[in-house]
Structures are given as structure tokens and as C-alpha cells.
């Protein structure tokens, strides 16, 4: 630290040396954690979570640039018009948390479908295996893990007697 308590140029972290994760439909928690870490490193996290001191406009804009760097370009217009980076952060959070709720609801629907899956009368074993495999893949995409052993056990339980 220099005499006035500020970091010297050699001690400061360059923004370009940090890792900036691109926000997707399914990685909000990781994205938010990494951005918080980056903003804390850059000493600008107070722009998002103010501790009482007035936020400097230059710090707010630095944080806004960090957010815009790590969201899809389609979101720039929506976020760029916000008066503060805190407002932009809240927009992203509400959009992605809502998406997470939809994803969770979809996962629950798929789990119910997996538990209730039945062998159709006109279906071959191969067709059923493809159908249950696709359902397991959809569950995986929704964040639920259905391992192969569980799929095989389910298949064996619902196979018609004629295949026993």
C-alpha cells in the first residue's frame, strides 16, 4: 500500500487478467459467484451490495462493464439502460432465478414421467429403450441424475410378461 492507503500499480489486479464467465440459461449461480469474486478483487463489489458509502459513478460503470462483458449481447440493451449496475444485477438475477424455477418444475415433471413410464402394447423393447433413454437424457439436461442402473431396473420392472 502507498502512503495514502491506495494500492500501487504493481499490486493492483488488472481487469483483463480475471476470468469472465459468459452467462447462460443454466449457470447463474456459478456466474454470480465468479462476478462477485471478480468485483471484490477489483474492490467494486459495493456497487452491487452497498455497505452504506455512496458508490462512485466510475466504479458503478466499471462493474457495469464487467456485467456486460459476461452476458449475451442480446441482454446489453436491456441492462445498459439501467441507472445503476445494482439495478442491472437485479434484472439478471430475476431473469435467471425465474428460469431456474422453470427448469426445476420441468425436472419434477420429467421425474414424475420417469416414475410412471409404462411399456406400450405396440412397442418393441428397442423402442421402449430409446424412449426411456431419451427421458433419462432430458432429466440429465434438467439437472437431475438418473444413472444407467436405475434406468435398467425401471425397464425390467415395466417390461411385459411376454418378455420375461
Helix axes 148-158, 125-141, angle to 10 degrees: 140
At 85, list the grid cell: 449496475
Instruction: Break the chain into its structural domains and give their ranges.
Output: 15-99, 117-163
pLDDT of 164 reads: 66
pLDDT of 10 reads: 38
Residue 127, sorted as left (phi over 0), alpha (psi -120 to 50) or beta, turns out to be alpha
d(CA 45, CA 50) in angstroms, rounded, equals 8
pLDDT of 117-144, one tens digit each?
Answer: 999 988 999 999 999 999 998 888 777 8
Contacts of 139 (CB under 8 A, 6+ apart): 107, 110, 111, 114, 145, 146
Q: What is the mean pLDDT of residues 22-33?
A: 88
pLDDT of 12 reads: 61
Going by pLDDT thresholds of 50, 70 and 90, the confidence category of residue 5 is very low
Identify the DSSP state of 1.
-
State yes or no: pLDDT of 113 exceeds 90: yes
d(CA 43, CA 122) in angstroms, rounded, equals 64
Amino acid at each position: 500500500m502507498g502512503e495514502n492507503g491506495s494500492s500501487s500499480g504493481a499490486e493492483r489486479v488488472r481487469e483483463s487478467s480475471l476470468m469472465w464467465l459468459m452467462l447462460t440459461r443454466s449457470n447463474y449461480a456459478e456466474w454470480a459467484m465468479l462476478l462477485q469474486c471478480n468485483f471484490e478483487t477489483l474492490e467494486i463489489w459495493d456497487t452491487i451490495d452497498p455497505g452504506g458509502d455512496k458508490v462512485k459513478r466510475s466504479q458503478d460503470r466499471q462493474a457495469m462493464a464487467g456485467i456486460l462483458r459476461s452476458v449475451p449481447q442480446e441482454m446489453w440493451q436491456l441492462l445498459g439502460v439501467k441507472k445503476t449496475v445494482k439495478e442491472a444485477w437485479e434484472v439478471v438475477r430475476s431473469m435467471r432465478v425465474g428460469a431456474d424455477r422453470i427448469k426445476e418444475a420441468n425436472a419434477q415433471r420429467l421425474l414424475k414421467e420417469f416414475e410412471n413410464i409404462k411399456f406400450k402394447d405396440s412397442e418393441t423393447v428397442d423402442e421402449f429403450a430409446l424412449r426411456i433413454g431419451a427421458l433419462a437424457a432430458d432429466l440429465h439436461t434438467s439437472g437431475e441424475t438418473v444413472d444407467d442402473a436405475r434406468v435398467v431396473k425401471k425397464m425390467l420392472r415395466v417390461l411385459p410378461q411376454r418378455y420375461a
